[in-house]
Amino acid sequence: MDWDEISSLLNEINVHEGMKKAFIEYSKGNSEIPPVGELLFEDPPGEVHIKYGYIKGGSHYVVKIASGFPGNHSLNIKPGQGMMLLFDINSGLPRAILIDDANLTDLRTGIAGAISSELLAVQDVDSASIIGSGVQARYQIRCLVDLLPLRGIKIWARNAQKAKDLINDLRDLNVEIEFKDDLESLVKESKLIITTTSSREPLIESDWVQPGTHITAVGSDTPEKCELEPKLLSRASVIVADSISQNKLRGEIHQALKENCVSENDLIELGELLDHKKEGRTDDQQISIVDLTGVAVQDLVIAEAVYNAKIRA
C-alpha cells in the first residue's frame, strides 16, 4: 500500500489504547526489540533509522525503515521517507508492505507525545507551546488537541515564515494558534512544552523552565541531537523514557547521563507509568520530562491497525 491508500484507512483506526498496552508490554519485558539500526549521512545530510521487533504472544513482527533528508525540500520531496513491513509471526509470511513516506512514524510519534502530555501535564493546563515548525510539530498539535481540552497553541521556530505556514496549515482546528518570536519568554510562561526540532545544541535553558512545567521532548532521536540543556533534567522530579536502554544511547536522557546530571536510577519508563507501577507527577509544582526516542512496538501497533483496517475494508 502507498500513502494514498494508507491515509484513506486512518479514519478507521484508533491506536491510543493499543499503543498504551504496547508500552506496558515492553516495560514488562514481554517484547523483543533489538537496538536501533542507524545510518548517518553528511553530504547531503540525512539519517536512516531501522527499528524492528515483536510483542510476545502477538500475531506479527515489524521491520520499519524511516529516513530524514532535510535537503529534500529543495527537490520538492518530503524529507521523511520509508516503509513498514509486517510479517506473520508464526510463518514469516509478509502480510503488508506499507510505503508510508514515514507518515506512520510521524503519526505514531504524535500519538505517543499526546499520551505522554496528557499523563503528566498539570490538570488545568489549557495551552501548549510547540518548539519547531516541521512535520512533527503538525502531528503533535493535531494529536494533542484530540486528547486535551486546549484553548491555545503557541509556536516558536527558528524560521518565522515556516511557523506562519504551520499556523495556516492548522487553521481547521478549533483552537487559537499564534507565533512567538521570543523563546525564553515563551518557555517562562508555559506549563506544557513539546519540542520537535532536530537541534544538536540545547534550545531550552534550565533556568527558563518554571515549576509545574511538563516537557515532552520528541526531536532528539540520535546520539548527537539535543533540545534541552542537560542540567534541566536534574531539576525534574519525574524523568520518563520510552525505553531506558534506548534513551541511554540517544536523546535528552543520553545527554544528561553523559554530563552526570542524572543517573539511571532517576529514570522510569512510560510503560511503567501507564501500568501504574511507578508514580508520576504528585503535585502541581513538579517539573516532569518525557524523552521519546521511538520504540518499535509503536510501529508494530500502527502497522497492524492499518493492515486490519485494510482486511475489513
107 confidence band (pLDDT: 50, 70, 90): very high
Percent of the chain having pLDDT more than 70? 100
- d(CA 69, CA 49) in angstroms, rounded, equals 12
Percent of the chain having pLDDT more than 90? 93
Please give the torsion angle defined by the CA atoms of residues 27, 29, 30 and 32, in that order, rounded to the nearest 10 degrees: 100
The three-state DSSP-derived secondary structure of the chain is CEHHHHHHHHHHCCCHHHHHHHHHHHHHCCEECCCCEEEEEECCEEEEEEEEEEECCCCEEEEEEEEECHHHHHHCCCCEEEEEEEEECCCCCEEEEEECCCHHHHHHHHHHHHHHHHHHCCCCCCEEEEECCCHHHHHHHHHHHHHCCCCEEEEECCCHHHHHHHHHHCCCCCCEEEECCCHHHHHHCCCEEEECCCCCCCCECHHHCCCCCEEEECCCCCCCCCCECCCHHHHCCEEEECCHHHHCCCHHHHHHHHCCCCCHHHEEEHHHHHCCCCCCCCCCCCCEEEECCCCHHHHHHHHHHHHHHHHHC
Identical fold for domains 3-104+297-312 and 111-296, yes or no, is: no
What pLDDT shows up at residue 313?
A: 80
Q: Which CATH class is domain 111-296?
A: alpha beta
Domain boundaries, the chain: 3-104+297-312, 111-296
Paired strand residues for 63: 52, 85
Average pLDDT over the chain reads: 95
| Cis amide linkage into residue 149, ω under 30° from 0 | no
59-101 pLDDT, tens digit per residue, is: 999 999 999 998 998 898 888 899 999 999 999 999 999 999 9
What pLDDT shows up at residue 73?
A: 84
38-57 pLDDT, tens digit per residue, is: 999 999 999 999 999 999 99
Query: Is the pTM for the entire model greater than 0.85?
Result: yes
Q: Give phi and psi for 105, each to the nearest 5.
A: -60, -45
* Rounded average pLDDT over 155-176: 93
- d(CA 76, CA 149) in angstroms, rounded, equals 36
Whether 222 has a pLDDT exceeding 90, the answer reads no
- d(CA 211, CA 175) in angstroms, rounded, equals 25
Q: What are 249's three cell numbers?
A: 544511547
Whether 118 has a pLDDT exceeding 90, the answer reads yes
2-42 pLDDT, tens digit per residue, is: 999 999 999 999 999 999 999 999 999 999 999 999 999 99
What pLDDT shows up at residue 253?
A: 97
Decide yes or no: CATH 3.30.365.10 for domain 3-104+297-312. Answer: no
